[in-house]
Chains A and B, each alone.
Chain A
């Protein structure tokens, strides 16, 4: 069972919001004594997902949580946007697939960098991506 110990929210509407967001994620990761490599992986994944939110949905809300599953602590990030949604998630999760002008690495790359990855999307309503990185994961 995963318990949420602490919750924080941030609104992302423009590119300049990304750096303060990354810094805040790092702050919480340091607070739960996450190692540097895992911190870097988490923040890189977060950076990919926040870019998707800005590029495809003109921004959204991010919930930052410190979670625990007993002995292990972790950071859970929930990216929620009200954008156009992703019509085919399987396709979007494939390396190199993009509808924009990026490399198509954002979603599959972010998934590889974290321990838990969940994506839900409804056409016309928006997309929610949840990731968890455990301190020792």
Chain B
């Protein structure tokens, strides 16, 4: 069975969709991602769809689901790299992806995620790091 790889990058998860998705694959990605957010305590999910040629209502719903599910688990989702033709089609289809954050490319998406994470998070991590050092 095909699988979409999920990469962990510090507090974020990075997904690059490089294949044409059929529904089962998209559903698996949704559950894999949410499980991973929970397991590693990610604060953000970045989904790169620059290689995706079509997003229909099903795929759009999956993107919306991932965003709302991760929000409940205290993580933000940013979808990046949408092709202009896909954006035009989505709006005409009637699915404007409310509640899903988007950015033009991976770089801007990363910057957006970083800006969304409260800064005290870093401090806490340093403290725990110091504690381990003392022990």
Contacts and interface: CB of A to CB of B under 8 A. Distances in A.
Interface residues of B, number: 21
Nearest to B93: A109
Given A22-B20, A103-B61, A112 B54 contact: no
Interface string B24-40: 10000000000000000
Interface in A7-40: 15-16, 18-19, 22-23, 26, 36-37, 39-40
How many residues of A sit at the interface, in one of the four size bands? 20 to 34
Interface in B66-98: 83-86, 88-89, 92-95
Mostly helix, strand, loop or mixed at chain A's interface?
A: helix
Interface of B: 20, 22-24, 53-58, 61, 83-86, 88-89, 92-95
B38 to A, nearest CB: 24
Interface stretch (A44-52, A58-66, A74-82): A44-52
Given A37-B89, A40-B89, A112-B93, A48 B20 contact: no
The 5 residue pairs across chains A and B that have the minimum distance between CB atoms: A40-B85, A109-B93, A47-B56, A105-B57, A37-B85
A68 B59 CA distance: 32
Contacts of A112: 92-94
B56 A44 contact: yes
Given A18-B23, A40-B53, A40-B86, 9 more contacts: A36-B85, A40-B88, A41-B89, A41-B92, A47-B58, A51-B58, A105-B93, A108-B94, A112-B94
Mostly helix, strand, loop or mixed at chain B's interface?
A: helix
B27 to A, nearest CB: 10
Contacts of B55: 44
B58 A40 contact: no
A43 B93 CA distance: 12
A109 B96 CA distance: 12
Given A19-B22, A23-B20, A51-B23, A44 B89 contact: yes
Contacts of B54: 22, 40, 43-44, 47
Centre residue among B53, B55, B92, B93 by max chain A CB count within 10 A: B93
Contact of B57 (A16, A39, A40, A102): A102
A125 B55 CA distance: 31
